[in-house]
Amino acid sequence: MIDRRILLASVASLLGLAAFRWLRASPAQAAEKFEIEKTDAEWRAQLTPQQYEILRKQGTERPGSSPLLKEHRKGIFACAGCDLPLFSSDTKYESGTGWPSFYQPLENAVGTTQDRAYGMVRTEVHCRRCGGHLGHVFDDGPKPTGLRYCMDGFALVFHPATPSAT
């Protein structure tokens, strides 16, 4: 006969394993195919260690550490992995979070997936072309969208607008 303690311990272990699998983040790269796909070695060779950790391993930067936080010139913020234009400077705003924030991406620039890391459910934002993790989107942003795309600055590169010829 099975000892009650062994049975309870076994059930608790199985539930713990199931909960751990549910709480883990599910990277966008595993869920879908992207136009640009590279090996892990190719990404490591192309990106800085910090960019690799954010874009390919769903990491994040310390709040306030990105130089793009204070970028206020006109231009385009693009993916640091594949240079796809993602956000216009016209949609950037100061959210007070310590990360560059935008209220709207460019059309057909980003994708989203459910992120269950850290015991909560969030909406992860990734580059639609290479699948690089960019940050998360929240519903506490300004008008007109009410959204806050809270992006890791090291996942982005900035391309200033060219001055118009006058």
Of 82, 127, 130, 150, which is the active-site residue? 150
Report CA-CA distances (Å) from 36 to 64, 128, 139: 30, 9, 29
Q: What is the pLDDT of residue 20?
A: 42
Question: Which residue has 């460019």 as its token pair?
Answer: 106
One-letter identity of residue 101: S
Tokens of 6: 């062994």
Q: What is the pLDDT of residue 115?
A: 84
Tokens encoding 64: 């306030």
Per-residue pLDDT of the chain (166 residues; tens, 9 = 90+): 566 666 555 555 545 444 444 444 444 445 578 999 999 999 999 999 999 999 999 999 999 999 999 999 999 999 999 999 999 999 999 999 999 999 999 999 999 999 888 788 899 999 999 999 999 999 999 999 999 999 999 999 999 998 764 4
pTM of the model: 0.80
Give the length of the chain. Answer: 166
Tell me, what's the pLDDT at 2? 62
pLDDT value at residue 116? 86
Please indicate whether residue 150 is annotated as part of the active site.
yes
pLDDT, residue 26, reads 44
* Nearest residue to 134 (alpha-carbon basis) of 68, 82, 83, 79: 79
